[in-house]
Amino acid sequence: MSVLADARIYEFIGGTAPTLPELTQRYTQQVAGSGRSDEVWLNWIIRRRSDKQPIGYVQATVALRTSRSVAELAWVITPAHQGAGAATEAATAVAAHLRANADTELHAHIADTNVGSVKVAERVGLVATEALNEEGERLYVAMSRRSG
């Protein structure tokens, strides 16, 4: 829970640090999934190598399509561990996982002022578009072709 307790995390993603009951409810819902046959939720905890302590998470919401799936990527790293490459490594691993399993268009929505996440997106190979969502976040896109 302490990983998500720092108020600075919510500067760009909105909301506030969850209470233990809210976090329990969130994890229960994530494990259950979306409940839709055409959507899969994938979630991973990011752990520090030295002692395996959690420092964040990465997730993908995959909308299953006949020809090509669309995966919305998101990552959160506790501020004390930002800037060390953990988000880039985790998001790259998720992109590779998706690439190995299907032709998937990768998306991420990022506030222009969230410089750290913009850098992660670019390092993962996502490219900024002109499209903005309802929250004013810019759409970043990459094509992910099945390898092998």
pLDDT in tens, 113-130: 999 999 999 999 999 999
pLDDT in tens, 68-98: 889 999 999 999 999 999 999 999 999 989 8
Domain hosting 135: range is: 2-144
Q: What is the pLDDT of residue 143?
A: 66
Residue 24: which pLDDT band, with cuts at 50, 70 and 90? confident
Percent of the chain with pLDDT over 90: 59
CATH of the domain at 79: 3.40.630.30
Residue 46 CA to residue 76 CA, distance in Å, equals 9
Taking a C-beta distance cutoff of 8 angstroms, is the pair 89, 83 a contact? no
Give me the sheet containing 54-63, strands edge to edge: 39-47, 54-63, 69-77, 104-110, 138-144, 127-132
Residue 24 CA to residue 88 CA, distance in Å, equals 27
How many structural domains compose the chain? 1
